[in-house]
Every structure is written in C-alpha cells, then in structure tokens.
C-alpha cells in the first residue's frame, strides 16, 4: 500500500477514495474467481486417472481444493448479499433478482432463464 500512502499526501480525498474502491474491486474479483480452483480440481482428477498421483496425494489435494472453493463461495455469497442489500436500500424497494452462489440451498421463489446455443464449431467455438 506504499503507493496509496504516498498519493494520500497530495491527492484530493475524493480521488483517493475512488482509487481505494477500485483496488478493492480488483482484489475482490481475484478473491472471488472460482475458475482457477475448478480447473485445479479437474487437473487433480485427470492426474489420478492418468496415474500421475496416488490416491493419498489426490485425496489431500482434493480436500485442500474443496476448502478453497468453499471459502471463495462463502465470500461471494456474503458480497452478493451485501450488494443486494445496498441496491435495495438505494432503490428503496426490491430491485433485480440476486443470483445464488453455486451450491447454496435455494428457498423461496426462483426463476430459470434457459436457452440453447447450437451454433459454432471448431477451435474458437
């Protein structure tokens, strides 16, 4: 946070607040991205199938990865709840429907948006 501290001396406060909120967004995005963990889970599965890791190593890694996934999803859930509450407060009513974090039990009215995409073929698709 050295840079932020330095800037603090002469930046208008508004700018600093903007910057910190941007930095917070970036940090949250990285901390709530579950794709790398999901990819690591798949890689662990494939490593076991291919015999590159033994059962014990596989189980140990899986346990660590599941823990990490839970941590990310709990954080996402919390941030989503905060954001929804903030949006509701700002709009003074019940705005857009929140998307439940994966794996969370669903209660109350839920809606599905479904569509199929049968287009696209080849390397880029």
Partner 1 sequence: MADTDVARRPGAAKDDEPAAGHAPHEGGNAHQEGIYVYCIIEFGERRTFGPVGIGTKGDAYTINYKDLAAVVSDVPLVVYDPTRENVLAHEHVNELVMEEFTVLPMSFGTVFRTREDIVELLRSTYDALKDVLQKMKGKIEFGLKVNWDKLQVLAEIEATSEEIRRLKEEIENSRSSSTYFARMQLGRLVDSALSARADEYVEEIYRALRDVAVASRSNKPIGENMIMNAAFLVDRDRADAFDRSVNEVAKGYEGKLHFKYTGPWPPYNFVNIRLKLERARED
Q: Which residues bind partner 1 (CB under 8 A)?
A: 38-39, 41-43, 45-47, 50, 59, 62-63, 66, 69-70, 73-74, 88, 94-95, 97-100, 102-125
Phi, psi for 75 (deg, rounded to 5): -60, -45
CB of 95 to partner 1, least distance (A): 8
Please, are residues 101 and 80 in contact by the beta-carbon 8 Å criterion?
yes
User: Which residues make Cβ contacts (< 8 Å) with residue 52, sequence separation at least 6?
Assistant: none
Q: How far is CA 17 from CA 12, 21, 23, 79, 84, in A?
A: 9, 6, 10, 19, 22
CB of 51 to partner 1, least distance (A): 12
> Which of 10, 121 has the CB closer to partner 1?
121
Distance CA 42, CA 38 (A): 6
Q: How many other C-beta atoms lie within 10 A of the C-beta of residue 76?
A: 20
CB of 86 to partner 1, least distance (A): 14
> Which of 3, 125 has the CB closer to partner 1?
125
> Which of 12, 120 has the CB closer to partner 1?
120
> Which of 24, 70 has the CB closer to partner 1?
70
CB of 57 to partner 1, least distance (A): 12
């Amino acid at each position: 946070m050295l840079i932020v501290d330095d800037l603090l001396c002469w930046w208008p406060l508004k700018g600093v607040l903007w910057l910190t909120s941007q930095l917070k967004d970036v940090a949250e995005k990285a901390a709530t991205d579950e794709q790398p963990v999901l990819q690591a889970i798949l890689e662990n599965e494939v490593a076991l199938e291919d015999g590159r890791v033994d059962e014990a190593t596989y189980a140990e890694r899986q346990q660590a990865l599941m823990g990490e996934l839970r941590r990310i999803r709990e954080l996402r859930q919390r941030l989503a709840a905060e954001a929804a509450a903030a949006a509701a407060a700002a709009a003074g009513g019940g705005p857009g429907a929140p998307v439940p974090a994966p794996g969370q039990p669903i209660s109350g009215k839920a809606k599905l948006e479904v569509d199929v995409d049968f287009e696209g073929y080849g390397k880029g698709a």
